[in-house]
Amino acid sequence: MFSVLKSVFLGFVRTSSQPDVLQNNMKVLSAGLRTYEVPPDFSDVVLPEKPKLKFLEKVPNLKQAKKEMKKLRDIQGPAKSATTFTKGQYGIVALGGGYLHWGHMEMMRLTINRRIDPSTTFALWRFRAPHKPITRKGLGQRMGGGKGAIDHYVTPVKCGRLVVEVGGRVELGEVEAVLTEVAKKLPFPAKVVSRESLAALHQEQAERETNNQNPWTFQRVARANMLGIRKVLSPFDVHNHGRYAGKFFYPKRV
């Protein structure tokens, strides 16, 4: 009878001979509570009536088609127009110059129209239908005998121009796959951007310019014509800061 009371009270104090489960040296793994992020609010997004990319004509509707000079300066240098977003959230930006012809446009139109959901997403072109005539001479022709006949039409695209915009009640992850597929097939290097990422790119470039530790910059040397370097530079290099050469773009240059 006393023994019963003894065992009950001493049982608290005495450590058991059997090894306790918690006395081993274990790593503490604390699992947290799963909390979910609030999904984005798309209440202010307006979808247009025709959400898909419209068909672009291969040939412009002209009575008299005039042959045009090559004018490769429409590929050269940075873009002045269509560099920012208008209605959409995500898009493809060109990182080099080039000509888009009807084949590229059809590819873009078909891929994007097939893959987007018209009830939640919309897409729009950021360039004109092909308007610049490209001439070709027939096969095996010798030099001379006048300019060739108009073969096809193209649109020139400069570096930094938005090619296509996508928007609606979607997040980047849903749209990114389609846009990267399309961007790889374009004749110039292109990148999928959103509004925030494009602003971030510009911001990063501005920061690089300000915190550059190199006291010698391309712009400084070219403007002052140090060492007569303008003999080997083009007038465009002076105001492009050496970032553009022909149709190519060097984003790393400051």
Partner 1 sequence: MAATLCGRLLPKAGWLPLTQSVRHGSKAVTRHRKPVHFLKQKLLAVTEYIPPIPAAPPGALVRRVRKTEEESTLAVLLRKDLETLFKECKMIAVVQNNAINAEDLLQLKHKLKRHNISIKFFPNQVTRSFLNNSIYSNMLPLFVGQTVIFVSKEPKVKEMLQALRRSPQMVLLGACIENTLLSYQGILNYSKLPSMTTIQGELVGGLTMMTSQTVSMLRHHPAHLSALLQQYVKQQGSGDATNAITNKDASTVQEAAA
For partner 1, the binding residues (CB under 8 A) are: 1-2, 4, 7-8, 11-12, 14, 16, 18, 20-22, 26, 28-33, 35, 72-73, 75-76, 97, 208, 211-214, 216-218, 220-222, 227, 229, 231-234, 236, 242, 245-248, 252-254
**Residues linked to residue 99 through DSSP beta bridges, in sequence order:** 156
d(C-alpha 55, C-alpha 38), whole Å: 38
Nearest CB to partner 1, comparing residues 102 and 248: 248
Number of H helices, E strands in the chain: 6, 9
CB-based contact 75:99 (threshold 8 Å)? yes
Nearer to partner 1 by Cβ, of 109 and 243: the residue is 243
Min CB(68)–partner 1 separation in Å: 15
The least CB distance from residue 64 to partner 1, in Å, is 27
Nearer to partner 1, 6 or 50 (CB): 6
User: Nearer Cβ to partner 1, position 109 or 132?
Assistant: 132
In angstroms, what is the minimal distance from the CB of 2 to partner 1? 7
CA distances from 239 to 131, 169, 189, 208, 234 (A): 28, 40, 22, 18, 10
Cβ 4 to partner 1 shortest distance, Å: 7
Q: Of 51 and 96, which has the nearer Cβ to partner 1?
A: 96
Kindly list the distances between the CA atom of residue 140 and the CA atoms of 136, 137, 143, 151, in Å, as whole numbers in the listed order. Answer: 11, 8, 10, 16
Tell me how far, at minimum, the Cβ of 204 lies from partner 1, in Å: 11
How many whole angstroms separate alpha carbon 27 and alpha carbon 231?
A: 69
Closest distance between partner 1 and the C-beta of residue 132, in Å?
14
Which C-beta is closer to partner 1: that of 134 or that of 245?
245
Residues contacting 170, CB < 8 A, separation 6+: 89, 90, 120, 121
Q: Which is nearer to partner 1, 8 or 143 (CB)?
A: 8
Nearest to 93 by CA among 175, 182, 164: 164
Q: 248 burial class (0-12, 13-18, 19+ CB within 10 angstroms)?
A: middle
Which residues lie across from 159 on neighbouring strands? Answer: 78
Find the shortest distance in angstroms from Cβ 6 to partner 1: 11
